[in-house]
Chain A
Amino acid sequence: MSNNPETSLPQTGTGDGARAAPRPWWLGLCVIALGCVCLYGTSTLAQGARYAGIGPGLFVTIAGGGLVILGVMLLVQIARGEQFEAQDAEDATGDEKANPVALGTALVAVILPIFTMNPLGLPITAMLSFTLVARAFASRKPLLDLVYGAVLGSAAWFLFTRLGLQLGGFLPFAGF
């Protein structure tokens, strides 16, 4: 939801938005790398097939090849001085600089379920992630957030399990 439709052309002028890194080469390289992963994945796939003319590998090749070409185009744009303005969102503007601590805390909240969902169950995972996200958004009441998270996680577990969702055990480490 950017409100600057003019950035489609490489620009060198200054705008009012905070600029991301002036030359984010890594962005283009990441796109190329993703394309290469797709192309690598086609090595075992047939490109052609007897009836359809095309095999299971063709679309993967198109996706990978497309990403490699677009990554190169992005690098060319970056070399020419393409500007990237962070998008505006509700409660945040692209003008703000990123707060690494808040971002890191929110990231931990998102990564945490990978390790806790199976052993600790949904309610406890929800409680911990809830508290971490609230902390990332500058909440100063961690104990209260733990309670909110636990109540929300438990209520959601009971409700959605009754509605037929398979959410695992309530407290798997306790055996139920």
Chain B
Amino acid sequence: MQSFELLLQGFSVALQPTNLMWALLGSVLGTAIGVLPGIGPALTIALLLPVTISVAPTSAFIMFAGVLYGAMYGGSTTSILINTPGEAGSMMTALEGNKMARAGRGAAALATAAIGSFVAGTIATILLTFAAPFIAEIAFYFKPADYFALIILAFTSVAVVMGTSRVRGFIALFLGLGLGVVGIDKMTGAARLTFGVSGLFDGIHLTVVLVSLFAVGEILYVASRYRPGVGDVITLKGQAWMTKEDWKRSWKPWLRGTALGFPMGALPAGGSEIPTMLSYTLEKKLSKHSEQFGHGAIEGVAGPEAANNAAAAGMLVPLLTLGLPTSATAAVLLAAFQNYGLQPGPFLFTSNPELIWGLIASLYIGNVMLLVLNLPLVGIWVKLLLIPRPQLYAGILVFAMIGIWGLSGQVIDLIVMVTIGIVGYVMRVYDFPIAPVLIGLILGPMAEVQLRTALAAAQGNPLVLASTPLSAIMLTIAVLFLLVPFVLKRLKANA
């Protein structure tokens, strides 16, 4: 029950008035960016990084957690009311939720989404509370070869699972790996891929890449294919919240969605797309009202929304215990830790317990705040959708520019912003997944350090990389990730 005591200590940190204020600020910001198009949690946290460097790390991470959870809540609002999922994980919600809203049951859809998010978020945070220390304990025994194998597994799964094509997934990953090696090599002092440009000696900061891909690339893309007035906001006046029947039909999907979302979010490349899709399919199969699916079935909102929020909490498990990001948002959170000179992983649990446990406790508090912010106040959030799109996207570019210029005040960063922004545009036009670039960029250098450490300890013998049972298993799974789709394709072709 040591976790419980530590959690109580965490609450004493998270309940301090200043930290409550940061949690509220994060939750409000998160909900707002979840509702607004063109800006997601990863981009928001990246833009906040330079500002929060003067804030204590515990407070900053409490705010980031609010942004992360808040975006999940806010995303469902736009999915339901205007049929435009703000986040990948809200796609399934839009399918049924918007149909419900069109049938005059928007309030019920919003309620099951928000309460489901709360239930899933709270259960997943409880699971995180007890699973994280346990995994961190195991991670103490990880050797460099194990870490290297784990990162290779994350690479292959991210590239294979995300997006629609394996080749394009891997191209995105290798782009990230290429960007990650730019700068002075920390072990030998050699300048790599800098081509004599001194501004690149420090490497390309994750914020620059992330903001360029997510903000600049998105602005260029949406501007080129802008359709004014996509989706009308459905009004909720006079609609009833959840009926007794709705509660009856929702609670099981909430729990099943949580059971799917949490473990899948914790897996490398888990993300929120797959668990939400699986939850939707599962609910469709199990529902007594399967004929309503496609026409506004409440189970189709309750399950995926719960899975979405549980996946967000699940994502924190590998990040906090192993320092392994499994999504774009986790990658930028890792960058935030590194900004403070902290390395998430097992040692952070012992060296900085007030940060880790304050952060976990704030997730419980944030969930309560978000339920209050989202259910009764949904009308206010909907008003955000009235911001004219031209000025909204123009404002996003201004903030993106400040985020990049504020890093080091170097023109080279602005040049990199334009270049990578154009790459982001092309990636959207030709359907390349974007998250693998960030995973490659942040995990590539980590993989290199672990590989060198492992090889140095074994005097260059490459067999050391598969010398522990864990590393051998993870490398085997990574190879299977690559091969199984080919084998299945062959078998299908032969059948």
What is A's interface to B at a CB cutoff of 8 Å?
A: 1-9, 20, 24, 27, 31, 34-35, 37-38, 41, 44-46, 49, 51-57, 59-60, 62-64, 66-67, 70-71, 73-74, 77, 82, 84-87, 89-94, 96-100, 102-103, 105-107, 109-111, 113-114, 117-118, 122, 125-126, 129-139, 145, 148-149, 152-153, 156, 160, 163-168
Q: Are A160 and B51 in contact (CB under 8 A)?
A: yes
Contact of B409 among A67, A87, A166 (CB under 8 A): A166
Assess whether A56 is in contact with B187, with CB atoms less than 8 Å apart.
Answer: yes
Write the nearest CB–CB distance from B31 to chain A, whole angstroms. 16
Whose C-beta in chain B lies nearest to the C-beta of A163?
B51
Bound Cα distance from A176 to B425, whole angstroms: 36
Nearest first, the 10 closest Cβ-Cβ pairs linking A and B are A53-B460, A90-B37, A139-B390, A137-B390, A103-B224, A106-B223, A133-B394, A134-B390, A96-B225, A56-B185
Report which residue of B53, B86, B188 has the largest number of chain A beta carbons within 10 angstroms of its beta carbon.
Answer: B188
Q: Is the CB of A164 within 8 A of B223?
A: no
Residue picked from A56, A85, A118, A130, most chain B C-beta under 10 Å: A56
Chain B: how many interface residues by the 8 Å CB criterion? 87
Residues of B within 8 A of A (CB): 37-38, 50-51, 53-54, 78, 84-86, 88, 91, 163-168, 170-171, 174-175, 177-178, 180-181, 185, 187-188, 190, 192-193, 195, 216, 218-228, 230, 388-391, 393-395, 397-399, 401-402, 405-406, 409, 411, 414-415, 417-418, 421-422, 425-426, 428-431, 444, 447-448, 451-453, 455-456, 459-462, 489
Cβ-defined partner of A89 (8 Å) among B166, B180, B221 = B221
Q: A164 touching B54 by the CB < 8 A rule?
A: yes
Residues of A within 8 A of B460 (CB): 52-54
A contact residues around B223 at 8 Å (CB): 99, 102-103, 105-106, 133, 136-137
Cβ-neighbour of B397 out of A90, A97, A109, A165 (below 8 A): A109
A168 to B388, CA, bound (A): 30
Q: Given the known inter-chain contacts A74-B167, A113-B414, please indicate yes or no for A63 contacting B399, CB distance below 8 A.
A: no
Say whether A91 contacts B38, CB under 8 Å. Answer: yes
Known: A46-B190, A91-B227, A137-B223. A160 touches B170 (CB 8 A): no
Residue of B nearest to A31 (CB): B171
B225 proximity list for chain A (CB < 8 A) = 86, 89, 92-94, 96-99
Complex A-B: 16 CB contacts under 8 Å: A7-B165, A7-B431, A53-B452, A63-B174, A67-B171, A74-B171, A86-B428, A91-B226, A98-B224, A109-B394, A137-B222, A137-B390, A138-B228, A139-B391, A156-B399, A167-B406
Main secondary structure of the interface of A (DSSP, over half): helix
| Chain A residue with the shortest CB-CB distance to B452 | A52
B398 near A126 (CB under 8 angstroms)? yes
- Establish whether residues B431 and A86, one from each chain, have CB atoms under 8 Å apart when the complex forms: yes
With a cutoff of 8 Å between Cβ atoms, the chain A residues found around residue B50 in the complex are 165
Nearest to A67 among chain B residues (CB) is B174
Whether A27 contacts B430 by the Cβ 8 Å rule is yes
CB within 8 Å for A118 and B411 given contacts A8-B166, A93-B227, A102-B224: yes
Q: How far, in Å, is B483 (CB) from chain A's closest CB?
A: 15
Given contacts A53-B459, A56-B190, contact A149 B398 (CB under 8 A): yes
Do A54 and B455 have beta carbons less than 8 Å apart? yes
Query: A45: shortest Cβ distance to chain B, in Å?
Result: 6
Check A117 against B429 for contact (C-beta < 8 Å): no
Other CB < 8 Å A-B pairs besides A86-B428, A93-B227, A100-B224, 14 of them?
A: A2-B163, A7-B431, A41-B192, A52-B460, A53-B452, A56-B188, A67-B178, A91-B84, A92-B224, A109-B394, A110-B418, A113-B414, A133-B390, A168-B405
Which of A67, A109, A132 makes the CB contact (< 8 A) with B175? A67
Which residue on chain A has the smallest CB distance to residue B398? A126
Are A137 and B405 interface neighbours, CB within 8 A? no
Chain A residues near B405: list those with CB within 8 A.
113, 117, 122, 167-168
Q: Which residues of B contact A122 (CB under 8 A)?
A: 401-402, 405
- Best-buried of B84, B175, B429, B448 by chain A (most CB within 10 Å): B429
Point out the residues of chain B lying under 8 angstroms from A56, CB to CB.
Answer: 185, 187-188, 190, 192
Chain A min CB distance to B124 (Å):
23
A76 nearest CB neighbor, chain B only: B167
User: A41–B193 contact, CB under 8 A?
Assistant: yes
Q: Which of A93, A94, A110 gathers most chain B CB within 10 Å?
A: A110
